[in-house]
Structure 1
Amino acid sequence: MSDAEQAFVRFANVQKSYDGETLVVKNLNLAIARREFLTMLGPSGSGKTTCLMMLAGFETATQGEIVLDGRSITNVPPHRRDIGMVFQNYALFPHMTVAENLAFPLQVRRVGKAEAEERVKKALSMVRLDGFGQRRPAQLSGGQQQRVALARALVFEPKLVLMDEPLGALDKQLRESMQYEIKHLHERLGVTVVYVTHDQGEALTMSDRVAVFNDGVIQQLAPPDELYEHPENAFVAQFIGENNRLRGLVRSQDGRFCAVEVAGQTVHALSVAAGGQGSSTCLSLRPERAVLDPVDGDWANRFEARVEELIYHGDHIRTRLSLLGHEDFVVKVPNRPGLTPLSPGAAVTVAWRAEDCRALDAG
């Protein structure tokens, strides 16, 4: 973002400590654009949910300022922030009908009865639950309850919607379906969304940008494709998608590239955060970027390997190899007509380009 002052949501030097000693969030500076879908992604305890709770007003920042639409909300109570919230456990009122659940935030804001009924009807249609208004939450499936929770967060037309692991309780197929529904709703409504998850697949599927958290710090903030293709450090490379890690020592640097000694052999890689000659580094290579038994091509890296395991995944064969002293090197082989069958113990050649292999910090 070119001008943080114009950001729709802004965290400025925000810190959070629960005990006065340990910082859960460390000096967070983050600008979120209007109508953006930003995901806070990270492992448990990384600080992402605490950031969301501070934005919602359920937690207070120990230090720093949070700004929404040009106004500091650091000391504004939650009910006056005009923010919609969707939780993992839905948080629906069991004694109310679906329509009554949706009408509740409108009643709190003193919206007239006729207008409230119209908004509830519109919100139900928006999440494809027309005709469900008189049912109670217990009469709905998990996916339907989550749609109601989403509609309730949107029915009063908030400036901002926060979602805290909203799909965590759903089964895999329904979770993936809901990802697309939320993404399409966001695109259609143009509302700003801040989404928290530990599921990298959700983050890559739904987001305009992803902030990867670890130990209270944003490790990298970028669009999903940039995070996956161009991780800036070993943590991001390992956390986003499947990744082959090869540890070694930098032997030489040549412009953008470096030569790294791994198990007595030389691997050529893109020098991203490798350090100088003699430094320890962690090489990152995505499993789909390596090729088995290449027929031709100018490959900077070509090594002998042994097949350890083959796992069928439908569209590809996950092939685990022993290579360069590692027994967990993975190559994803596309499942296509004419594919030469392999078996455990087979000797193969593995090749990859230097620009697909990133020399990062030691990790």
Structure 2
Amino acid sequence: MTQANDDRFVVFDRVQKSYDGRNLVVKDLNLDIAKGEFLTMLGPSGSGKTTCLMMLAGFETATHGDILLNGQPINNIPPYKRGIGMVFQNYALFPHMTVAENLAFPLAVRKMPKAEREAKVIQALKMVQMGEFANRRPAQLSGGQQQRIALARALVFEPELVLMDEPLGALDKQLREHMQFEIKHLHEQLGVTVVYVTHDQSEALTMSDRVAVFNDGRIQQLATPEELYERPQNSFVAQFIGENNRLMGRVDRLDGENSVVVLDSGEQSSALAVNCGAAGSRTLLSIRPERIRIGEQATENVTQAKVLELIYLGDHIRCRMRVHGDDQFIAKIPNSPESPRVMVGQEVNIGWAAADCRALDAD
């Protein structure tokens, strides 16, 4: 078989997975991952993302279809012969070994000479800023330090592909956010291909070149973080990525890429016709909270709202309102002198541009 080009370094070709022979947890997955790409598989529990990672690692076997690495089918190649680095949430460090011994282990398995092993261990520890911890054991390290060592061990033998399964899930919020940037910078520095699994959408948006959003065993959308957030292709992606206001209605008419929707309240709204049916079909309008304009700023798609709650969050004020009978409609008001001032209980006009409103499937 010919070598893969850089755009098809990892290939899932019509891959299915069933554990019981009846129910598919992964359904006809087709996915190409480019060499050097940071791709995140994102989705809720049970969506199939971790199963895909485990099949790529070799810990699970595909029920149907092929997985290729650099042009070669790997379905029947055992995990230890795939040359893939792995980082897990629980670190999986050997407790009886020192940090240096943990890092040297994958090199010893590959029968690398001792002097070369020692040089690579020093280099890997330096890469994750853990050089002075070489002689400590994992139990003597914090969670963040252990995760750095696990990352160094996955990178020490210079694999072309590194898989990460919820690697930051056990860390506290501040450390998790710090490690996101550390991993992102390491990826940029080394140029290694990374396939990352998480259910945390902010983590996926921060780190990835592209994100594959999984639900019910299928990829719902595969795109850059900006594309996913700004242009979700269905209601699941709109709801799962970031915060999202939802208004239900029926398509009144279509005009090319635009639509007019009659909301269940009886009012009309203009929206981009992204994934809605013909006139008369039920649809869901999706509008991001930061795109809501209040008071004199409200121009297009104007309606009335009642302010129910204001929460100060530093860079913005989160304003919960009642809109068309929905008490969970959210606007994010920037914390700046130019922003309108509102009070709890106040009736205000709000609006949103048609370009910021997407008519999606009603499911």
TM-score by length of structure 2 reads 0.97
Change (3 A) 1:204 1:6: closer
- State the number of aligned residues: 359
Change (3 A) 1:234 1:15: same
SS of corresponding position for 2:91: coil
CA contact under 8 A between 1:8 and 1:31: conserved in structure 2? Answer: yes
| 1:44-193 mapped onto 2 (5 Å cutoff) | 44-193=45-194
CA deviation digits over 1:261-305, x for unaligned, max 9? 111100110101111111000100000011111347xx3311111
Q: Percent identity?
A: 67
Q: Structure 1 CA distance, aligned partners of 2:362 and 2:297?
A: 33
What amino acid is the match of 1:88?
Q
1:347 pairs with 2:347: yes
SS of corresponding position for 2:68: strand
1:361, CA displacement in angstroms? Answer: 0.5
Change (3 A) 1:302 1:6: closer
| 1:307-322 mapped onto 2 (5 Å cutoff) | 307-322=307-322
CA contact under 8 A between 1:294 and 1:351: conserved in structure 2? Answer: no
CA deviation digits over 1:94-139, x for unaligned, max 9? 1100000000000000011000000000000000111110011111
Name the counterpart of 2:286. 284
1:337 pairs with 2:350: no
CA contact under 8 A between 1:269 and 1:359: conserved in structure 2? Answer: yes
Name the counterpart of 2:205. 204
CA contact under 8 A between 2:276 and 2:361: conserved in structure 1? Answer: yes
1:259 pairs with 2:270: no
SS of corresponding position for 1:213: strand
CA contact under 8 A between 1:302 and 1:350: conserved in structure 2? Answer: yes
SS of corresponding position for 1:220: strand
Match of 2:275 among 273, 276, 288: 273
RMSD (Å) for aligned C-alpha atoms? 1.2
Q: Structure 1 CA distance, aligned partners of 2:24 and 2:80?
A: 27
SS of corresponding position for 2:55: helix
**Unmatched segments (≥5 aa) in structure 2:** none
SS of corresponding position for 1:102: helix
Name the counterpart of 2:221. 220
Runs of 4+ that moved beyond 3 A? 3-6, 338-341
CA deviation digits over 1:175-227, x for unaligned, max 9? 00000000000000000000000000000000000000000000000000000
SS of corresponding position for 2:261: strand
SS of corresponding position for 1:319: strand
Q: Structure 2 CA distance, aligned partners of 1:108 and 1:339?
A: 61
Name the counterpart of 1:229. 230
1:24, CA displacement in angstroms? Answer: 0.3
Bigger Cα displacement from structure 2, 88-97 vs 334-343 = 334-343
CA contact under 8 A between 2:253 and 2:279: conserved in structure 1? Answer: yes
What amino acid is the match of 2:330?
V
**Unmatched segments (≥5 aa) in structure 1:** none
What amino acid is the match of 1:349?
N
What amino acid is the match of 2:222?
L
Change (3 A) 1:69 1:199: same
Q: Structure 1 CA distance, aligned partners of 2:351 and 2:5?
A: 43
Bigger Cα displacement from structure 2, 285-294 vs 15-24 = 285-294
Bigger Cα displacement from structure 2, 323-332 vs 50-59 = 323-332
SS of corresponding position for 1:267: strand
1:253, CA displacement in angstroms? Answer: 1.2
